[in-house]
């Protein structure tokens, strides 16, 4: 538990609101799990200091000759002449700036009889020192680890070098063995080829003779086929010639039969034509009858055509 108090016996200046705030933040503070992520002050210490600085007139003393670099230098120049918390806030300062100045030693705060506030500043300073020691130790450990890793990498490199040398030897032995194997295979292939030639030579001879006999038979068969084909073509030509003659004869007979039929028909028609029939015929019928009888002039009036037809049938 954190207890902060004023050593004076008379504390009547404390207001009721301030008492409530003190009781609220007088509980056990929560510890951070990772010390490297801790701020300079704890949450309770920050609340307590802010409250005291706001309620009381606590003097602030900044170092005017502080060597500040970076972006914070301009901000530090704006509030380095401030002597109170109110003036510090008006100059644009925040509590984080105050913590930074306390941590760097460029700020002194006289809390007079506020022992808890003074203790909070001392505790923060001790935590910061411990934190820096832990960081330094961690840095040393990292350096040792890096050196060990470097040495391990060096040893591994030497080992890999030896392994590569051994691997090269193994590869050379394997190449030599492969050369011997290829030479043996070449010898065996050449001897196999010679043996195969001795076996294939009589077989090739037999195959050549068999092919010659087959070619001879094929040629003879081809000649016979040619002769048969020639005779067949000749027979086809004779048959076609005879067929043409038969067709001519048949056509001639058909024409003779047609002529006979036409003559008979004309004679019958002539015999059937009578003066009474001719008188009753139309002009077209008269012309047709004249054409049938071989008359070249079929023009004229109906009476002329009738007289002409009567003359031809008499």
User: How much is the pLDDT for 272?
Assistant: 65
Give the tens place of pLDDT for each residue, 2-52. 444 444 444 444 456 666 666 665 544 444 444 445 577 888 888 888 888
Give the tens place of pLDDT for each residue, 96-139. 888 888 888 888 887 777 777 878 888 888 888 888 888 888 88
Asked if 276 and 294 touch (Cβ cutoff 8 Å), the reply is no
Mean per-residue pLDDT for 170-191? 82
Q: Output the pTM of the full model.
A: 0.35
pLDDT band of residue 264 (cuts 50, 70, 90) is low
User: How much is the pLDDT for 65?
Assistant: 80
pLDDT-wise least confident of 43-57, 190-204, 207-221: 190-204
User: How much is the pLDDT for 33?
Assistant: 43
User: How much is the pLDDT for 153?
Assistant: 85
User: How much is the pLDDT for 56?
Assistant: 77
Mean per-residue pLDDT for 150-176? 82
């Amino acid at each position: 538990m954190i207890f902060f108090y004023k050593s004076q016996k008379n504390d009547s200046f404390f207001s009721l609101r301030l008492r409530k705030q003190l009781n609220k933040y007088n509980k056990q503070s929560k510890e951070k799990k990772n010390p490297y992520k801790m701020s300079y002050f704890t949450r309770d210490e920050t609340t307590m200091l802010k409250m005291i600085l706001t309620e009381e007139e606590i003097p602030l003393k900044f170092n005017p000759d502080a060597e500040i670099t970076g972006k914070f230098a301009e901000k530090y120049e704006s509030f380095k002449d401030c002597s109170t918390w109110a003036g510090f806030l008006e100059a644009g300062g925040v509590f984080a700036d105050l913590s930074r100045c306390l941590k760097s030693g460029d700020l002194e705060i006289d809390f007079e009889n506020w022992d808890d506030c003074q203790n909070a500043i001392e505790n923060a300073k001790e935590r910061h020192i411990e934190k820096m020691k832990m960081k330094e130790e961690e840095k040393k450990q990292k350096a040792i680890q890096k050196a060990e890793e470097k040495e391990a990498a060096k040893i591994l490199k030497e080992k890999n070098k030896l392994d590569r040398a051994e691997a090269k030897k193994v590869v050379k032995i394997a190449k030599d063995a492969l050369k011997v194997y290829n030479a043996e295979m070449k010898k065996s292939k050449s001897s196999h080829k010679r043996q195969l030639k001795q076996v294939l030579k009589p077989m090739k001879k037999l195959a050549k003779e068999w092919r010659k006999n087959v070619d001879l038979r094929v040629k003879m068969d081809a000649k016979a086929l040619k002769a048969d084909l020639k005779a067949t073509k000749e027979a086809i030509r004779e048959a076609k010639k005879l067929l043409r003659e038969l067709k001519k004869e048949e056509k001639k007979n058909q024409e003779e039969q047609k002529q006979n039929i036409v003559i008979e028909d004309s004679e019958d028609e002539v015999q059937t034509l009578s003066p009474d029939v001719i008188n009753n015929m139309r002009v077209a019928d008269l012309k047709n009858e004249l054409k049938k009888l071989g008359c070249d002039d079929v023009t004229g009036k109906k009476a002329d055509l009738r007289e002409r037809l009567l003359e031809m049938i008499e």
